[in-house]
């Protein structure tokens, strides 16, 4: 706008003619600059809206880029419950009635945060980050069989909920089966694909007497340790193999 004011009227009209010859969805004027009447008249004539912002041009461009990326990102939805457990976005999935919401309710009571229950909206940001959100209709609400719909924010306060969270781990709750083989050492790194991204995946069998919320807390802490480069199960396995090797070597020396 400043440059247009420094040129002759003929040249200014020619420049404006070329500028407004493009298909322009809108015009954003930065730094709170006043829009000249000749510019406003041209925009009004072809029905191009003009917005004035107090922000710097670079800041506006950055925020628009982020907005467009989020609005056009690949998205999906899953039936499950998403929580922030010790800073780890934990997605609970499993068959209906397995106890996902009841488990989530106890985790909230223990100080963790609910993001979404029943239906989790997921977007893939920057091609690698899976961000989970709540459906607008059931925002901060949870369905508990026998109690009905409860408002977590009203009951536990604003600190018990959050609007979004990056998903870092998937936990499947399933009914305990004697025929199934479950990972007892934690050496097997399962993954669960969502929108082309493989997430760490744990399967926790559910049966009477098991404290599932505590197990999920431990799983979240274990995932934090892995993100920091620690893998307790693999470290234990290395120590066990080293100990067996030392015992075998000592036996061979004794036999000699």
Q: Does 190 qualify as catalytic in the annotation?
A: no
Q: Which of 12, 118, 153, 189 is catalytic?
A: 118
CA distance 242 to 235: 11
CB 201 within 8 A of CB 172: yes
Identify whether 118 is a catalytic site residue. Answer: yes
Catalytic residue among 11, 31, 34, 79: 79
Catalytic residue among 100, 112, 123, 165: 100
Is 183 a catalytic site residue? no
> What is the distance between the alpha carbons of residues 164 and 127, in angstroms, rounded to a whole number?
17
What lies within 8 Å, CB to CB, of 112 at 6+ separation is 83, 84, 85, 86, 217
From the candidates 37, 128, 178, 184, give the one annotated as an active-site residue. Answer: 184
State the residue for tokens 């919401």: 101
* Nearest of 199, 172, 2, 202 to residue 80 by alpha carbon: 172
Known catalytic residue at 42? no
* Helix boundaries (H) for 86-211: 100-109, 152-156
Query: Which positions are catalytic?
Result: 79, 100, 118, 184
């Amino acid at each position: 706008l400043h440059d247009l004011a420094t040129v002759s009227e003929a040249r200014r009209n020619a420049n404006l003619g070329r500028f407004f010859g493009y298909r322009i969805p809108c015009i954003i004027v930065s730094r709170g600059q006043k829009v000249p009447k000749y510019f406003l008249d041209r925009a009004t004539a072809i029905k191009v809206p003009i917005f004035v912002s107090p922000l710097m041009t670079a800041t506006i461009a950055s925020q628009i880029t982020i907005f467009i990326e989020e609005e056009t990102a690949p998205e999906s939805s899953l039936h499950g419950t998403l929580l922030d457990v010790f800073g780890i976005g934990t997605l609970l999935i499993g068959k209906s009635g397995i106890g996902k919401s009841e488990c989530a309710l106890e985790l909230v009571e223990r100080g963790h945060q609910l993001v979404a229950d029943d239906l989790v909206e997921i977007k893939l940001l920057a091609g690698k980050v899976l961000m989970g959100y709540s459906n607008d209709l059931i925002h901060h609400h949870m369905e508990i069989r026998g109690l009905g719909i409860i408002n977590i924010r009203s009951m536990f306060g604003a600190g018990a909920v959050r609007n979004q969270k990056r998903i870092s781990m998937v936990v499947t709750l399933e009914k305990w089966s004697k025929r199934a083989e479950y990972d007892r050492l934690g050496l097997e790194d399962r993954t669960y694909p969502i929108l082309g991204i493989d997430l760490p995946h744990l399967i926790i069998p559910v049966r009477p007497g098991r404290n599932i919320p505590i197990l999920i807390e431990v799983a979240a802490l274990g995932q934090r340790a892995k993100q920091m480069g620690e893998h307790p199960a693999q470290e234990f396995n290395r120590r066990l193999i080293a100990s067996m090797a030392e015992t075998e070597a000592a036996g061979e020396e004794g036999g000699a």
